[in-house]
């Protein structure tokens, strides 16, 4: 490898984790093997679905130094970068909260069906955050999207006629969790830059915060947890910071000394996995509870998967097989959100597209979800070609 060469593994692994997210999100049907699904909160262990989201978080952290340095090269000041980070985080929080609240909607109180409300919400999101190219008046389209979200938010009602409730932040939704982790990690990198030791200490601090929170020692901060609980909990930021730390190792070895990188990366992976299994003596491996053992084991898995992909793609140039995942890695938000529009439309008009979910044969159910995930990657790539591409 040459130093100037783009690390393709970052895009490919990000696309692969997105593919797996689409796959496991579609898997909810009786008879699916347990090792593919989410395990219950009190179960000590994990399935594939319990790694996929932290795998994506890890890649978010890996991409942070590349993205911020790219903005600096374009002439952005630190203040402009901070503004960009905050806008991106707020956008993720808004979309995440809206997505999370769809399941809570009361159609009778809202006046429209849950499926229609969700479709209009996603369409509005695409109007607002689409990356318009060769469009004369993008502000008008963005304005339509903003107006759409305001109207939908004003109509939204949940609960019962005797106890009507509105939108809640709750657990912030998947995109909201990404937003909080991205906020912490981006600000950390903006302050400490490529200083590996300091970044490592901050990573350890958030692992420690995760441990203290799980032990109940941070209960005195309960009053701010409705807003900053994701940061205080430490689990999500620690995974993203793990990705940042790993990315700095790649940058420090200057890309071309791949043997040195693989050696350091392997040591880090072993230490991370061992730490996770040691902590299992006190904390079960549980995604639902966000335990430190789960966070560290998932980070270790992500490290070793990256090493394998790095050897195949960037060192051995064996990459044709992975090209199918590349568009998803480069267009992650569209790839993640676009399928939901199709889901709600299918449910609203009762099109039997998801027929495989009704099968008693688990193999048919799993293969159907694999086909769906591949189709959704292609769908997002098609949207990108016609000028529909979300960018925060």
Q: Which DSSP category does 213 fall into?
A: H
Q: What band does 5 get if pLDDT is binned at 50, 70 and 90?
A: low
Q: What is the pLDDT of residue 254?
A: 62
What average pLDDT score do residues 174-189 get? Answer: 98
What average pLDDT score do residues 319-335 get? Answer: 91
How many other CB atoms sit within 10 Å of the CB of residue 380? Answer: 26
What average pLDDT score do residues 344-359 get? Answer: 92
| Whether pLDDT at 33 is above 90 | no
Sequence-separated contacts (24+) of 201-209 with Cβ below 8 Å: 202/241, 203/238, 203/241, 203/242, 203/244, 203/245, 206/234, 206/237, 206/238, 206/241, 207/234, 207/238, 207/292, 207/295, 207/296, 208/234, 209/233, 209/234, 209/238
Q: What is the pLDDT of residue 360?
A: 85
What backbone torsions phi and psi does residue 91 show, to the nearest 5 degrees? -60, -45
| Whether pLDDT at 1 is above 60 | no
How much of the chain, in percent, has pLDDT values that exceed 70? Answer: 98
Q: What is the pLDDT of residue 333?
A: 95
Higher confidence at residue 196 or residue 5?
A: 196
What average pLDDT score do residues 282-303 get? Answer: 97
| Whether pLDDT at 2 is above 60 | no
What average pLDDT score do residues 350-375 get? Answer: 92
CA-to-CA distance for 109 and 184, rounded, in angstroms? 38
Which of 328, 334, 343 has the alpha carbon at shortest distance from 392? 334
How much of the chain, in percent, has pLDDT values that exceed 90? Answer: 85
Q: What is the pLDDT of residues 237-273, one digit of tens each?
A: 999 999 999 999 998 886 567 889 999 999 999 999 9
Residues pairing with 103 in the sheet? none
Q: What is the pLDDT of residues 211-231, one digit of tens each?
A: 999 999 999 999 999 999 999
Q: What is the pLDDT of residue 256?
A: 63
What average pLDDT score do residues 181-186 get? Answer: 98
Who contacts 247 (Cβ-Cβ below 8 Å, separation ≥6)? 61, 62, 63, 64, 65, 66
What backbone torsions phi and psi does residue 354 show, to the nearest 5 degrees? -95, 35
What are the C-alpha distances in Å from 51 to residues 3, 118, 273, 298? Answer: 31, 27, 13, 6
CA-to-CA distance for 162 and 25, rounded, in angstroms? 34
Q: What is the pLDDT of residues 128-158, one digit of tens each?
A: 999 998 888 899 999 999 999 999 999 999 9
Tell me the average pLDDT of the chain: 94
Q: Which DSSP category does 38 fall into?
A: P
Q: What is the pLDDT of residue 3?
A: 45
| pTM to 2 decimal places | 0.95
Q: What is the pLDDT of residue 253?
A: 84
């Amino acid at each position: 490898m040459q130093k100037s060469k783009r690390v393709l593994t970052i895009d490919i692994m990000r696309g692969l984790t997105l593919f797996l997210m689409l796959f496991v999100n579609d898997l909810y049907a009786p008879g699916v093997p347990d090792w593919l699904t989410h395990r219950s909160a009190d179960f000590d262990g994990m399935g594939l679905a319990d790694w996929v989201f932290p795998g994506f978080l890890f890649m978010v952290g890996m991409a942070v130094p590349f993205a911020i340095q790219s903005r600096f090269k374009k002439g952005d000041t630190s203040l402009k970068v901070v503004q960009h980070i905050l806008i991106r985080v707020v956008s993720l929080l808004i979309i995440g909260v809206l997505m999370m609240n769809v399941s809570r909607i009361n159609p009778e109180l809202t006046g429209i069906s849950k499926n229609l409300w969700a479709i209009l919400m996603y369409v509005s999101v695409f109007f607002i955050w689409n990356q318009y190219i060769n469009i004369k008046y993008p502000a008008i389209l963005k304005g339509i999207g903003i107006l759409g979200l305001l109207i939908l938010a004003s109509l939204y009602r949940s609960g019962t006629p005797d106890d009507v409730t509105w939108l809640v932040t709750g657990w912030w939704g998947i995109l909201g969790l990404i937003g909080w982790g991205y906020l912490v990690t981006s600000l950390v990198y903006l302050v400490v830059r490529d200083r590996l030791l300091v970044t490592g200490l901050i990573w350890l601090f958030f692992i420690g915060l995760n441990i203290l929170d799980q032990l109940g020692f941070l209960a005195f901060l309960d009053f701010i947890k409705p807003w900053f609980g994701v940061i205080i909990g430490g689990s999500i930021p620690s995974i993203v910071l793990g990705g940042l730390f790993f990315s700095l190792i790649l940058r420090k070895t200057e890309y071309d000394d791949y043997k040195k990188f693989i050696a350091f990366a392997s040591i880090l992976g072993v230490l991370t996995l061992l730490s996770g299994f040691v902590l299992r003596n006190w904390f079960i491996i549980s995604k639902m509870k966000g335990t430190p053992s789960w966070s560290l084991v998932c980070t270790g898995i992500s490290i070793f998967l990256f090493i394998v992909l790095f050897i195949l793609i960037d060192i051995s140039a064996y990459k044709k097989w992975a090209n199918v995942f590349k568009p998803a890695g480069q267009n992650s938000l569209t790839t993640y959100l676009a399928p939901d529009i199709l889901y709600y439309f299918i449910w609203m008009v009762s099109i039997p597209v998801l027929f495989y979910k009704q099968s008693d044969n688990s193999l048919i159910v799993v293969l159907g979800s694999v086909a769906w995930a591949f189709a959704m990657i292609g769908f997002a790539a098609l949207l990108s070609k016609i000028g529909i591409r979300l960018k925060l």
